[in-house]
């Protein structure tokens, strides 16, 4: 399979979108909100902090899995990939798991930068991928949000076409 920015973006978009299809947001929120405690203090939004502590169900699930926390999750990792693949109807080699977004964004930055690519994004944005890509000779085309802080999709499309 030929690997380029377009192929990577198509695969990454499929994986990202599949996360939205697994559970409709409404159902996820209803399930999660059942036993939410009240918010406890200030949070740092740009660090993706959550105002609510983990629910009792989450604490119980974590507690029950602590005995296995000294093991690498290689077998369960592949099981999760296989289940996502089956549920979403996509090949398992199109699924990339990470421990949070940092390593995935760094890998994306390396992939884009390795060939001196151009990354187009709205601005302001979370810059980690672009900062990492710059270390691999990628350039970053920033498209400002409009006065209402909305994405300018026409400008993004034009910038992407200009970058090809």
First to last CA, the chain: 20
| CA angle, residues 89, 92, 98, in degrees to nearest 5 | 120
Look up residue 99 and give its DSSP letter: S
Sign of CA dihedral 53, 57, 63, 66: negative
pLDDT at 40: 63
| pLDDT per position as a tens digit, 119-161 | 999 999 888 888 888 888 889 999 999 889 999 999 999 999 9
Return the structure tokens found at 21.
């299809």
Q: What is the radius of gyration, based on Cα positions, of the chain?
A: 19
Per-residue pLDDT band at 82 (split at 50, 70, 90) = very high
Say which residue the tokens 């377009």 belong to.
6
Q: What is the pLDDT of residue 23?
A: 45
């Amino acid at each position: 399979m030929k690997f380029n920015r377009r192929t990577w973006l198509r695969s990454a978009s499929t994986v990202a979108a599949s996360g939205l299809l697994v559970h409709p947001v409404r159902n996820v929120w209803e399930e999660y909100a059942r036993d939410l405690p009240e918010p406890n203090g200030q949070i740092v939004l740009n660090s993706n902090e959550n105002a609510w502590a983990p629910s009792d169900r989450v604490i119980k699930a974590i507690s029950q899995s602590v005995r296995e926390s000294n093991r690498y999750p290689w077998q369960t990792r592949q099981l999760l990939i296989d289940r996502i693949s089956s549920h979403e109807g996509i090949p398992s080699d199109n699924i990339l798991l990470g421990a949070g977004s940092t390593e995935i964004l760094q890998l994306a930055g390396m992939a884009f930068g390795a060939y001196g690519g151009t990354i187009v994004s709205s601005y302001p944005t979370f810059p980690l991928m672009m900062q990492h890509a710059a270390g691999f000779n990628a350039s970053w085309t920033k498209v400002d949000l409009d006065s209402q802080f909305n994405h300018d999709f026409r400008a993004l499309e034009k910038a992407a076409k200009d970058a090809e």
